Amino acid sequence: MSVHPLTGAVRPYAWGSRTVIAELQGRPAPTDGLEAELWLGAHPGDPSTVTGPDGPVSLATLIADDPKGQLGEQVAAAFGPRLPFLLKVLAAEAPLSLQAHPSAEYARAAYARQEADPSLPKNYTDAHHKPEMLVALTPFEALCGFRDPVVSAGVLAALDIPSLAPVVDALRAGDLRTAVETLLSWPAGDRPALIDAVLVAPAVPALAADLAARYPGDPGVLVALLLNHVRLEPGSAIWMPAGNLHAYLCGAGIELMAASDNVLRGGLTPKRVDVGELLNVLRFEVLDDPVLPSSPVAPGIITWPVPVPDFVLYRIDLDGTRPPIEVPATGPRILLTVTGDIFAGESVDGTPIEVAAGAAAYAPADAGPIKVAGTGQLFVAAVPT
């Protein structure tokens, strides 16, 4: 069997949707909670299940038992016996936390320190970095990286809040570190009054008003105003390298990242916040354009090039008139159909595996090249070759 049906885990978070993932998979919406993320991969936090000739098995177990066969010699040598990427469907009906992810070098060192000293806060779940990209499935809004601090200074100055003067001065001087550290370290007892003042300011941005209503007393409301506010149409993508502060606001998308769960949060969340460690990993530089341009690969196939060796994402559009298209990747591959009805590879009896809308499949390295056919839209996550 060259391609195996793959079943992912749905993660329930407070910012999730009751309908998006259920509708994608063609099933009733849950009645007892929200669905925020569908995980497709071998991450130990929620590994997917592969259905093979011998029955269901964890993808993590499959890889651990035969890393060279599943990953290929090059991938196994570069990343060890683990799948280096994690594919997700993200469905946000409310803003996610202000967050950033460490670089590979910093993650290795920080995780080693944490493991050697039990008294340190448990900020890191593993020793890996977590660069990530997201392709919008619906109109999508996000805060991505710092914008020009002079522009941000003007926005905060227009609030006409005297206590923010030092932050405005730092921004006018181009000192993002001081501005962010001042806001996130604001005295706890003074925070409610500060955010209340934002709500009654003469020129309060709609974003700040919405976030302040959701997170009263959280200075992350003001930090959000220092970031690029990006609005994506379906098919557009954003790229979040290590150290860039970001927060997804609303919408559904396909997210692909290095296989890590290292997240440092600074606010806009009920989850654990560690401002000091977040400041350690942040890159205090302007991200001029977080939008990631697409690049054609072949007729019906596009990709969004990213500067990391852990993953690559392809989108394949099939109209039912072309002959089968070869997936432009070898090594381990995860396929996710988002619309239509697509057939991929071959099963044990030589017939293609059906991957209907909302369904996924897995192809190991030893499956060799695979082809897809049918009608619809398919995303393929792989390791660059």
Burial of 188 (0-12, 13-18, 19+ CB in 10 A): exposed
Which are the contacts of 22, defined by CB distance < 8 A and separation ≥ 6? 28, 29, 30, 35
Helix and strand element counts for the chain (H, E): 12, 22
Identify whether 315 is a catalytic site residue: no
Tell me if 241 sits within 8 A of 139, measured CB to CB.
Answer: no
Structure tokens at 232: 């994506």
Amino acid residing at 195: I
Distance CA 281, CA 351 (A): 49
Nearest 5°: the CA angle 243, 246, 247 is 150
Q: Which residues of 8-24 are buried (b: 16+ CB within 10 A; e: fewer)?
A: bebbebebbbbbbbbbb
Structure tokens at 318: 């099939």
Of 342, 343, 348, nearest to 367 by C-alpha is 348
Structure tokens at 354: 């059906």
Amino acid residing at 136: A
Residue 217: CB atoms within 10 Å: 16
Of 19, 17, 149, nearest to 91 by C-alpha is 17
- The residue from 82, 147, 265, 315 that is catalytic is 265
Distance CA 88, CA 140 (A): 15
Residues with catalytic roles: 265
